[in-house]
Chains A and B, each alone.
Chain A
Amino acid sequence: RQLRRNGGGGADGDDSLYPIAVLIDELRNEDVQLRLNSIKKLSTIALALGVERTRTELLPFLTDTIYDEDEVLLALAEQLGNFTMLVGGPEYVHCLLPPLESLATVEETVVRDKAVESLRKISQEHSPVDLEVHFEPLVKRLASGDWFTSRTSACGLFSVCYPRVSSTVKAEIRQHFRTLCSDDTPMVRRAAASKLGEFAKVLELDYVKSDIISLFTALASDEQDSVRLLAVEACVSIATLLPQEDLESLVMPTLRQAAEDKSWRVRYMVADKFSETFVSLQMYLCFNCIHSVLTIWLSDLCLLCPVSEQELVSDTNQHVKSALASVIMGLSTILGKDNTIEHLLPLFLAQLKDECPEVRLNIISNLDCVNEVIGIRQLSQSLLPAIVELAEDAKWRVRLAIIEYMPLLAGQLGVEFFDEKLNTLCMAWLIDHVYAIREAATCNLMKLVEKFGAEWAQNTIVPKVLGMANDPNYLHRMTTLFCINALSEACGQDITTKQMLPVVLKMSNDQVANVRFNVAKSLQKIGPVLDSNALQTEVKPVLEKLATDTDMDVKYFAQEAISGKHFTLINVNKLKMAIIKSEMHFNLLVFTVLVLA
């Protein structure tokens, strides 16, 4: 092996600089890693060879020697999808078909999928003529291949060429797809079922009705549940294609059958796709169907619930259950008031009593959907115990999650109900023994005030918060300060100056240093809300006194407050940032709770 190069570095940029043999040696290196590196830089090699020799020498070599490590083949399959320019543009793109065809028949799924992906990509670069002359025959060859791998790959290629070929060829493609849907190997049927929806989308409506529906029905009653569940998945796309008057007769019987399938995997898939399918089915037009399907679902839920009581429910089932919980909540908008009350309410109430906090939280977090339809009042009596229980859950993360929903709940339930039932809870969180809960509770109060207004705050929240300033526990006294920090802006100047400020000032004499330096911090924070008179006459003297405190930290924060006493807007922005940050933090935690609980 020798390397012929004229002048170091090949400065003249001649295309024929590198004999193909040298480059091919690189692609054939014994060391897999080196071979893989070479394949990953196939475009560099092709560029060095020029388009002509890439077509006539490199590609035939690649086509002939496809027996390699899957890793190398994967890289090759990927590279070839981006090779159009390197073989001379769309005019010559069909040269890429032979190597990709071989790759589409290998065993390893990852390689095959990548080859199909690349084939789909370059199919778009074919002219309609080339598509019929070169691409479509390839699809046909794959579809009638001996081994299941090529037939599986063919399934993914029908939909990309169908729209751009003549009607005779279209008929052939439909025939091939039909054949593959009833293939002998379940692997091929699975591939066909998973492409059924995609293929249906490119078909003319008449063929959807005549061909696709029968295929869908057949696949949905396949002997293997792995095939059936993929057919259910395709249902969503098929339903969107059909006119409403046909849905009942063409899709519903199969869907109903799938909802009752003996395999939990299939039922799970129906559950998963439930609301999605129903939206596309526009079910408000056929109430009968809803009724029967819902009955099945109710029984499935009832089936799962007793199992959970015996603590024998598996993770998967919990997952199914909570997936159902959220899906069913979403249904209420589609079903309308009467149906929701009749069918969903009992279910919903049962779920609120579920022993798994995740299920309960899922229901509560989706309350807004139900509220839009029947009003939350219908539920408030059942809702309350569930909320109270979650609010007192032993896991602080669960408590945190329910706090997150408080503003939402307050909005749904209204001031009156809130004051009566939930206010105490909100106040109780302020003295929780976990700091994260107290912090969240503070933030919650702020959001409530934003919702219900300053007047409400003045009457309900503020007195209670200020009352805690006299609590023997210094942590609770500090909570007062934190609440004031959070509430002052929402409550406005009047309340802040008249009610909050005196309490803060009085606390500057607290015997615990932590409280005193938090007074300094609070004064800095509420400064922007106060008028300049109060700042000068009341705040300044207190801060000056604290600046001479015996405790180092108190001194420090007092001086900080004095030096930043002109209280620029920046401080306010910082506070807002902090709130936004803590909200993000909540969401993350809520997510964690939902997963862990």
Chain B
Amino acid sequence: QTVEHGFPHQPSALGYSPFLRLMAIGTRSGAIKLYGAPGVEFMGLHEENNTVMQIHFIPDQCQLVTLLDDNSLHLWSLKQHGGASELREEHRFTLKGPPGSPPSATQITAVLPHSSREVLYLGTESGNIFVVELPSFRVLEDRAIPSEAVLQRVPEDNCNRRSCELVEALREHPKNPDQILIGYSRGLIVLWDLQNNKATHHFLGSQQLENLYWQRDGSKFISCHYDGSYTQWPVSSDNRQPEPLENTVPYGPFPCKAISKIYWQTTKNGLPYIIFQGGMPRASYGDRHSISVIHGSQQTAFDFTSRVIDFFIIFSSEPTAEFDDPSAMVVLAEEELVVIDLKTAGWPAVHPPYLASLHCSAITCSHHVSNIPLKLWERIISAGSKQNIHYSSMPWPIDGGTNIAPDPPQRDLLLTGHEDGTVRFWDASGVCLHLLYKLSTVRVFLTDADPNDNMNTLGEDEWPPLRKVGTFDPYSDDPRLGIQKIYLCKYSGYLAVAGTAGQVLVMELNDEDAEHVVDHAEADLLQDQEGYRWKGHEKLKTRDGPVRFEAGFQPFVLVQCQPPAVVTSLALHSEWRLVAFGTSHGFGLFDHQQKRLVFVKCTLHPSDQLALEGPLSRVKSLKKSLRQSFRRIRRSRVSSRKRRGGGGNASEVQEANAKFDQDTLQEMELAPVQRKIEARSAEDSFTGFVRTLYFADTFLRDSSRHCPSLWAGTNGGTVYAFCLRVPPAERRMDEPVRAEQAKEIQLMHRAPVVGILVLDGRSTPLPEPLEVAHDLSKSPDMQGSHQLLVVSEEQFKVFTLPKVSSKLKLKLTALEGCRVRKVTVANFGSCKTDDYSENDLAVLTNLGDIQIISLPFLKLQIRYPCIRKEDVSGIASCVFTKYGQGFYLISPSEFERFSLSTKWLVEPRCIVDMPEVTSNNHVHNKSGVENAAKKS
């Protein structure tokens, strides 16, 4: 495993260091991830796997402190080692109260790393503030701020025991490090003098407090409240108990939700930015996840599609600067990262170079293409850039650290198919998985959803001024649009995609917008089979007449399988201009040059009613909303689900969980899981399900003449081979492509065929179409005899060709009890010398192991555990690259990348420079910030 791509699953905390210009994200499973300039990323995992509640960088240090939901504090630091920086956990600490005190006495609610870098102030549920030394986490009892001390000078009527309960916020004075502002949840705010150990000012808020923020010069601060209001307070030496300057409920007058965090940013032109999270009218917009930005008369409520975890503002952090001059707002929502450019008019979003939300619509399949020719690469980027015009041109504002990894050796594309009918093209060459281009197949079809129904088209006078931002939109209007199979030919630019409702689209790359009619053909895979009735979903309705397509991949032909069952396999031969597709009923071959169906073959067993009815038949009747709620449930991961909230009942929860586990265990013992032991038979369901399709130019009939051929493997262990006659190029349009069945092999063990491969006379796998024509591969050896490799879920078998006789086999399942889930040919090069490489099979089993099996002798070379065997979706999502790397989903939103090859390793390697620390003086240290700012 080398690097994780995508967006962290279940983020729970956000931190930012203006000094390092690094951002940190914590997750519910106890991971923290640091991001800086593209390519600069670090990852750490807390041993406890507990939710990360808060992340605080130590000012002017390469250190950060995390607070977990078990009330433990962890100190992490970035240290250079072997020429690159590494993130390591240095210390851990759990605050302990005096014996007999309730857990709430030490339950940490607010953390303030002091600018002296020597101490942490820890606000607790009890209202007491503890002080611990860094980096040792030694408790400094003499410097603690007990709530009793705070209450001493508070006026009588505000003075009761409860007014000092729960510290909500701790903020250091921006100019005077000896003063800190303490906000209690009941509304009381106190300015505390650390030198004299006493409160200098009292601010008597009447509303329940949520958060505090200092104005840059320290003359005012702002507080935000549970009732959706915010209040400005003056701080001066003449009034020790001032009245608020201004109290506003921005979305009043009706009851509003809490404003949980607020920023007050000054600008040169005098108008401040007030930026706050929440505060929406409770009744009508209470379900919105919003952050509002107010700047003079401009006001926008950015509306996020998922819960806002936290946000921060990037502003001028130089202490000498007079104003904040905010440049960008970074928002961590539950499902995506959104960055808003505050300098450009209209506050456009910035396109993030990493942390892409892979799951903005659920991923349904993936396809990897290695070593993309530069020409195609540029054309895809150009098509993608036309889609990104609404993004800000601002350079990425989080740019700390230096990426020192070597440039990726080649251009790799990862294509993901999504439930909403889109295909996303990702730059998978390096550490940052970056979206290049998004293709939508929806335009070909008529769907219920009106394409003009845009959430952004709210009128000018709408109040609140909501604006939808972000790309996360998991709700597909029509699951039939889902993409199931993708095949891209990197030489010709032909792309075939196939979907849930039996649709197969062939596309070609066009650099311009175009309007044209998509040719339409039907492939009746049942042919003369009678007495069947498809009870599954209907096929998608197509749009009549010409359709306008934007620049990029534009479909020119649609082959509709009948019945419209999900397409289970797809192959494209760009040289022969043929596309083959298979479903649970059979397979077909389509000539996309002449736009003619060449043949179809029904593989359905007459007794297989289940395959006929269609697996989606029951879903059809469900209402859309129901479907959506199912999808919502599916998205929430079962594991690592932790309760947010006080640690007081954490132990109770654990106890309850343990009891529950025990109960379920007992239940399991009462009714044990059993497995039926039965040999596979021809009458089993879904034996006709076409699992794999393969084009090969080989010796199918006799050993003197080779010819194009199409191979298909089914779930029932049958392999079909068709001999094809493709007219020569000059008569390609005049003569039809012909096909004739030449062979049918029935594997006696009847396990599903998951891979078919032909090896040439040198036992090398046949090259991809057009690979030889582009001088990227040696011509296959047509002198020696070819061999056929059939991979089933249980066995690997090599047969001779053209006369099929069995030569070799490897019985994987019988020996090890594991089954083949994914198999591909991988080329392994030597990292020492360029002139040695070999082809092997990379195999992923249902136990999550990866095995390398040699070709052509089928000897197991090595085995690695890779994916947990319980992680079925991870195993199902795995794709191998051609050069021994691979990707699999570790959550709906994240790909883990792994490499089996020493030659091809993509992993982050970066440096974060330690600031020069000359003295402990606070102001002095700020020069380090300048340096960092200049550097970046």
Question: Are A and B physically bound partners?
Answer: no
Interface set of B (CB-CB < 8 Å, partner A): none
Interface set of A (CB-CB < 8 Å, partner B): none
